[in-house]
């Protein structure tokens, strides 16, 4: 065999051996899970095992832990998985989650955001004053003496044209005689020259004008013109029907020109001057309606109209006077009375409103709890506007038709640490850390729910309190003792009576005020209040 033939046979043998070895190794790798083998189902499940990011507090407190542990009540911390966190997103991290059963026990009540006109009643104190346009004074324009009084009592009612007093004046008597002589001269000089007649007529006319300027009535002037006899006294009459509110005239006294002798006021129309506080004056409009009440007639309301808002402010009381005009035909309202005034104000266009009880005001911002789903609430910061007695305008933060919590807000705070959820609002803008970044030693909220067993000693339905002799409370380091608790709502009294053993949960609503949020007599199945968290 030639050398070239031997080399070719050797190459073929080596290639066959190499192929066989490769086939055997591949088969071995398939059977024993080699590095290049296809993944088995078990290996796939191991690779897709859910990753735990951290463990959160079962009560929703801002306390996390990198390892499993228990809270002071013995409840296991709940694991938070990576895929769960991604699914929930930042929106759910700011929401409060409470079990449906717990929501019912807390007595949570919801109401929809409504678009409506926001009417407000501005209340102010006021005083009744006479209508200045219906007040008249009787003042002689000449010097004289009070000869006789017809009205001699302050407060007396007089009618228009009724005699008040008679006055004697030498000037008046002289002016009457001068006019009478001039009138006679006109009649005597009818056959005289035109110039003489014109001069006499001018003299008579000037005498008549003088008497009219002294408020001599046309009736007296006609009598004087016809008879030619001057009257010794002049009768002053009331210019309006009303009450004599002031009388200075005394029989026999001397008076000077311009001196006020009587004041008569018509009280069928009066004013109420109401003092409105500075912050409410923007709601008061001229022409708006008003209701007036006085202590003398507590069962009556007198309607009126705002006729004027004064342009000045009283610096001592920070109030602005507002004039309300109303009729007083029966004379029940007397000048000087104090009055309570309600001034109506109505917004021109409908606005979004929520009940006042829905707003949680921290002093620096306002927040409402919006229901996102059953047992899930979102604290949302809002901007508020005008308000009335029971509703407030929401300028920004909610939409029409959304459901907001209007009752048991403080219990939701105690149950789920509202402060922690609110702290998550806009945390990126304020530099706050997200929940998963907080260390496990983060300070917990004081509004933690505590649990204990005990026996009912007394019930007080009026104050909504119950006295319980309870055992030691480990979460508060309390020894066994008897103390009074408030009940969150009156429905919790069902099934309770002295001597009944109970299991209950409670929170501290205010300093030293402990409120029971859940209570169950022993022997009856106790619902798991934390089922929604585990």
The answer on 250 and 153 residing in a single domain is yes
75: nearest Cα among 90, 60, 53: 60
pLDDT top residue among 98 and 61:
98
The answer on 283 and 367 residing in a single domain is no
Residue 188 has pLDDT above 90, yes or no: no
What is the average pLDDT across 97-107?
Answer: 73
- pLDDT confidence of residue 456: 93
Burial label for 234, CB within 10 Å (0-12, 13-18, 19+), is buried
Residue 347 has pLDDT above 80, yes or no: no
Rounded CA separation 56/419 (Å): 16
pTM of the model: 0.49
Q: What is the pLDDT of residues 226-237, one digit of tens each?
A: 776 777 888 889
The answer on 405 and 324 residing in a single domain is no
The answer on 280 and 172 residing in a single domain is no
508: nearest Cα among 445, 438, 448: 448
- Which residue, 314, 341, 368, sits at the end of a domain? 341
Residue 84 has pLDDT above 70, yes or no: no
**Is residue 290 assigned to a domain?**
yes
Least confident span in 8-17, 374-383, 424-433: 424-433
Q: What is the pLDDT of residues 21-38, one digit of tens each?
A: 444 444 444 444 444 444
Under 8 Å between Cβ of 307 and 275: no
Residue 20 has pLDDT above 50, yes or no: no
Close Cβ partners of 305 (under 8 Å, ≥ 6 residues apart): 287, 288, 289, 290, 324, 325, 326
Calculate what percentage of the chain has a pLDDT beyond 70. 77
**Is residue 492 assigned to a domain?**
no
**Is residue 202 assigned to a domain?**
yes
- pLDDT confidence of residue 83: 61
pLDDT top residue among 200 and 439:
200
The answer on 213 and 154 residing in a single domain is yes
Q: How far apart are the first and last CA of the chain?
A: 86
- Which residue range(s) make up the domain with 415? 100-118+350-427
Q: What is the pLDDT of residues 389-419, one digit of tens each?
A: 788 889 888 888 899 888 865 556 555 545 4
- pLDDT confidence of residue 38: 44
Phi, psi of 4 (to 5 degrees): -65, -35
Close Cβ partners of 143 (under 8 Å, ≥ 6 residues apart): 169, 171, 254, 255, 256, 257
Rounded CA separation 234/168 (Å): 6
Least confident span in 136-145, 205-214, 423-432, 482-491: 423-432
The answer on 255 and 144 residing in a single domain is yes
- pLDDT confidence of residue 5: 42
Please report which helix (H) or strand (E) contains residue 414, including its range: helix 409-416
Rounded CA separation 409/108 (Å): 8
- pLDDT confidence of residue 127: 95
The answer on 59 and 12 residing in a single domain is no
- Which residue, 195, 226, 259, sits at the end of a domain? 259
Close Cβ partners of 90 (under 8 Å, ≥ 6 residues apart): none
Under 8 Å between Cβ of 294 and 272: no
Under 8 Å between Cβ of 175 and 210: yes
The answer on 252 and 176 residing in a single domain is yes
**Is residue 467 assigned to a domain?**
no
Name the domain count of the chain: 5
**Is residue 423 assigned to a domain?**
yes
What tokens does 182 get? 């001039």
Phi, psi of 212 (to 5 degrees): -65, -35
- Which residue, 313, 341, 369, sits at the end of a domain? 341
- pLDDT confidence of residue 524: 53
**Is residue 255 assigned to a domain?**
yes
- pLDDT confidence of residue 488: 83
Rounded CA separation 279/263 (Å): 39
pLDDT band at residue 427 using 50, 70 and 90 as cut-offs: very low
Residues recorded for the chain: 534
Burial label for 47, CB within 10 Å (0-12, 13-18, 19+), is exposed
What tokens does 311 get? 């342009």
The answer on 300 and 236 residing in a single domain is no
């Amino acid at each position: 065999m030639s050398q070239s033939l031997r080399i070719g046979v050797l190459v073929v043998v080596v290639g066959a051996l190499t192929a066989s070895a490769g086939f055997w190794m591949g088969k071995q790798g398939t059977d024993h899970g080699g590095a290049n083998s296809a993944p088995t189902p078990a290996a796939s499940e191991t690779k897709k095992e859910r990753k735990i990011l951290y463990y959160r507090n079962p009560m929703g407190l801002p306390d996390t832990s990198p390892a499993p542990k228990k809270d002071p009540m013995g409840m296991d911390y709940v694991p938070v998985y990576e895929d769960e966190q991604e699914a929930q997103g930042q929106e759910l991290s700011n929401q409060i989650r409470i079990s449906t059963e717990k929501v019912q026990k807390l007595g949570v009540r919801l109401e929809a955001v409504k678009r409506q006109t926001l009417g407000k009643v501005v209340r102010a104190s006021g005083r009744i004053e006479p209508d200045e346009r219906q007040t008249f004074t009787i003042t002689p324009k000449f010097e004289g003496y009070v000869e006789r009084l017809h009205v001699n009592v302050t407060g007396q009612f007089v009618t228009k044209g009724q005699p008040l007093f008679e006055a004697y004046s030498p000037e008046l008597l002289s002016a009457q005689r001068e006019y009478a002589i001039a009138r006679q001269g006109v009649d005597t000089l009818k056959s005289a020259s035109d110039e003489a007649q014109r001069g006499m007529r001018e003299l008579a006319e000037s005498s008549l004008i003088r008497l009219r300027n002294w408020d001599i009535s046309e009736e007296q002037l006609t009598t004087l013109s016809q008879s030619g006899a001057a009257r010794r006294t002049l009768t002053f009459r009331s210019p309006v029907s009303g009450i004599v509110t002031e009388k200075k005239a005394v029989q026999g006294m001397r008076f000077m020109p311009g001196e006020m002798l009587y004041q008569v006021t018509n009280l069928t129309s009066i004013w109420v001057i109401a003092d409105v506080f500075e912050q409410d004056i923007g709601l008061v409009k001229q022409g708006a309606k008003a209701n007036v009440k006085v202590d003398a007639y507590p069962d009556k309301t007198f309607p009126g109209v705002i006729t004027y808002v004064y342009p000045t402010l009283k610096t001592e009381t920070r109030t602005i006077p507002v004039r309300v005009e109303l009729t007083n035909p029966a004379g029940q309202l007397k000048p000087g009375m104090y009055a309570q005034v309600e001034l109506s104000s109505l917004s021109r266009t409908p606005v979004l409103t929520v009940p006042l009880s829905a707003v949680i005001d921290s002093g620096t911002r306002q927040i409402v709890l919006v229901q996102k789903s059953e047992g899930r609430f979102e604290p949302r910061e809002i901007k508020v506007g005008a308000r009335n007695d029971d509703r407030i305008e929401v300028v920004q933060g909610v939409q029409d038709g959304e459901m907001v919590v209007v009752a048991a807000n403080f219990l939701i705070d105690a149950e789920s640490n509202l402060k922690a959820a609110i702290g998550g609002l806009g945390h990126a803008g304020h530099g706050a850390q997200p929940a998963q970044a907080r260390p496990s030693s983060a300070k917990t909220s004081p509004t933690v729910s505590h649990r204990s067993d005990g026996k009912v000693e007394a019930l007080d339905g009026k104050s909504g309190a119950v006295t319980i002799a309870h055992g030691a409370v480990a979460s508060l380091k309390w020894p066994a003792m008897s103390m009074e608790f408030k009940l969150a709502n009156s429905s919790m009294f069902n099934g309770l009576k002295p001597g009944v053993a109970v299991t209950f949960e409670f929170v501290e609503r205010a300093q030293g005020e402990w409120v029971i949020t859940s209570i169950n007599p022993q022997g009856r199945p106790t619902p798991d209040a934390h089922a929604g968290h585990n």
